[in-house]
Amino acid sequence: MIQGQLTRLSRTTHGIAYDTTNDEIIAPNPLAAAVVIFRGGATGEAAPARTIQGARTGLSRPETVAVDEKNNEIIVGDPGDRRVLVYRRAADGDAAPIRRIQGPRTKLLQIVGVAVDPVRDVLVVSTYSRLPGGVTGLLIFGRTDQGDVAPKRVIAGPRTGITRLRQIALDPATGKIYVAAINNEYLPPYDIDRPRAGLDPDVELPSPWNTGSEGFIGVWDDVADDGDVPPRSLIKGRSTGIVHPAGVTFNAKDGEVIAPDAVWNGLFTFLKPELFKRTAAGIR
């Protein structure tokens, strides 16, 4: 466990990434407009090995991070200024980004997830909007895009099944994007300032399944998919236990998809969905 004042972590840290090549943990701190990097073996009240913070960084409210181990880069999604910032992996202190994607043509709004595919040179951003005409879905850019650039592809619309979403993960071996879609409006059964106010403890609370359409983990292709297209595979339904997936990550070594759920306060692990291709000889 990494916790305490010296860690420079905050309550609102939502995104996290692990660099398997360099054995480092990367996390954003939106309250401090910073990104903190720990050694993989850090424990207790460990200070970060490096901290990206300062006026030159361009950070405002970093929400989510990803690491490109092949190209030695850290990617940060910052909804505070609706932009994606890219730093050298070893960046420390008041380091300027080497690239940034920002502007009206990008369609970036509330950025909640970033993922990179260094094999196909693709950068995927999950974003949502409550504004008319805003995009809730996936924006797919070139890995080295910068400035006010339009996404190469947009995956969004009613057929996707996405009404809200959070973190995303990407499997570079296959180019598959794993998306945590939190479609229901989950609210805890109490007011945080007045715990259990007005609730009879003997009355059974409504099932979380009745809070709206349950969430799911959906799978798309980072090169082939574009527009209002349904997911190629789904992890969804009562038997899965998934109701309100707050994030998702992919364990490539063991072929596992891992998702935390905010309703059950649990961590769920699934085997990677097997996706089949149609060929001239049939389905394989």
Average pLDDT over residues 96-123: 96
Average pLDDT over residues 78-95: 96
Q: How much is the pLDDT for 282? A: 53
Residue 24 CA to residue 63 CA, distance in Å, equals 18
> Sheet holding 249-251: strands in order across?
249-251, 256-261, 266-271
Q: How much is the pLDDT for 276? A: 58
- Whether the model pTM is above 0.85: yes
Higher pLDDT, 214 or 118: 118
Q: How much is the pLDDT for 105? A: 96
What residue ranges do the domains of the chain occupy?
1-102, 113-121+132-137+146-284
* Residue 55 in this model has a pLDDT that exceeds 60: yes
DSSP 96: P
Residue 36 CA to residue 219 CA, distance in Å, equals 29
For the chain, the average pLDDT equals 86
Top CATH class, 1-102: mainly beta
* Residue 284 in this model has a pLDDT that exceeds 70: no
